[in-house]
């Protein structure tokens, strides 16, 4: 929940504060924004690294999450759970396209929200 709230809050805040300036300057890509400060080659390299780092971190946490679920549900080892989960994600993404990814994210959000507010919150209060 914290990840989703933090990302959404950051995107909303940044769009309200910085987007008018970026539109006025006609910056549409990360590389265009970094070029005036660092030069063309450096801006391209830095933006490429930054744009690769975020999805890799999110993929690593997602992979760890579904692998852990498979370990708990089926008693598998992590070295089996990781590729099986990856194959499942690739299959539903390939068959359903972006729409299937959006629907899966919505279902995951509902499950996480229910888990945090209706399960973990009462357990936390009870433990406190």
pLDDT computed for residue 75 by the predictor: 92
pLDDT tens-digit map of 25-82: 888 877 787 788 777 777 778 777 877 887 777 777 778 888 888 899 899 998 899 8
- Helix/strand/coil for 3: helix
For 67, the domain range is: 2-127
Q: What is the pTM of this model?
A: 0.49
Residues 6+ apart with CB under 8 A from 100: 92, 93
Instruction: Give every CB contact of residue 121 below 8 A, 6+ residues apart in sequence.
Output: none
Instruction: Name the residue among 13, 12, 5 with its Cα closest to residue 109.
Output: 5
Number of domains in the chain: 1
13: which 2 tokens? 């805040």
């Amino acid at each position: 929940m914290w990840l989703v709230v933090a990302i959404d809050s950051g995107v909303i805040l940044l769009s309200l504060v910085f987007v008018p300036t970026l539109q006025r300057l006609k910056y549409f890509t990360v590389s265009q924004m970094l070029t005036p400060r660092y030069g063309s080659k450096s801006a391209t390299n830095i933006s490429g690294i930054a744009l690769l780092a975020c999805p890799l971190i999110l993929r690593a946490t997602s992979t760890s999450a579904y692998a852990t679920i498979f370990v708990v549900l089926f008693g598998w080892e992590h070295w089996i759970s990781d590729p099986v989960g990856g194959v499942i994600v690739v299959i539903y993404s390939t068959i359903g396209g972006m729409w299937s990814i959006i629907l899966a994210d919505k279902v995951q959000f509902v499950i996480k929200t229910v888990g945090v507010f209706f399960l973990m919150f009462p357990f936390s209060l009870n433990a406190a």
